[in-house]
Amino acid sequence: MHKLRAAWDFYHKSFFDNEQAVIDGFNGAILEGLHHFTLSELDSITGLYYELNRADEINPIIDQYMSTIIQKFNFEDKEDVFHWPASSYLDEKLNEYFLAKCSVRNRNLQELISSAMESKSGMQVHGAIEELSLVDEKEHLNYLATLENSELTNIVRMLLKCGNVVTHDTDAQKAYKLTFLKTYRSLLELASRSQLNKTRMVKFLSYEKLYQRLELEIKQQESEKLSSSDSISED
């Protein structure tokens, strides 16, 4: 970020006709620290490049930023962006980014799992866990029952590991638990269908205690809700 400050200082310090030197300063800052730039910082630089008719130089940088860096800010929707960019190309690409996030939320179970398997972020990719938790148990069962894939064990373990995730986000925590429970219930159903499937289930039995604990938690929560409802009715 030191180079970015230095580039702006150099730009502001004179009225010299030194456009290339100014651009060289910003190019150096981009090369060294693009991954640290905020949207506002990139927007400011973009505005200058456009004023200097250098859109063809900064647009590829914006493309790189939107494809590899923007994800780290964990923007869920447009309201999360404090200062929306004024630059037309950055505005366009940011809108495309949020449209893509919406399309992720509309994908089916197979597409969501494939996306998670391909991403370094796993189940945290673009809020996939929240969408995954909305998939009903029947679809979970059907997905696993019809899956024929050399990655099946890794896929199941990825889903089961959701039960061990701890987060301060209440909604996300609930989504992880629901995903785990639907997965394990589906495995139990599949194991009950044949002796062969029972043997296949053995490698996942280490999650049995966690499954029983979370099922008990849900039953207790439902019981508490029922008791609370009865109390209100009596009043």
Share of the chain above pLDDT 70, in %: 91
* pLDDT for 138: 92
Contacts of 197 (CB under 8 A, 6+ apart): 190, 191
Mean pLDDT, range 136-158, rounded to an integer: 94
Q: For residues 186 and 145, give the distance between their C-alpha atoms in angstroms, rounded to a whole number.
A: 9
pLDDT at 226 over 70: no
pLDDT at 184 over 90: yes
Contacts of 179 (CB under 8 A, 6+ apart): 123, 129, 132, 133, 159, 162
Tens digits of residue pLDDT in 168-178:
878 788 889 99
Identity of the highest mean pLDDT range in 69-78, 87-96, 115-124, 199-208: 199-208
> CB of 101 within 8 A of CB of 124?
no
Binned at pLDDT 50, 70 and 90, residue 161 comes out as: very high
pTM over 0.85: no
Q: For residues 71 and 126, give the distance between their C-alpha atoms in angstroms, rounded to a whole number.
A: 8
* pLDDT for 105: 57
Tens digits of residue pLDDT in 86-136:
999 999 999 888 877 765 556 788 888 988 888 777 777 656 787 888 888
> CB of 33 within 8 A of CB of 4?
yes
* pLDDT for 218: 84
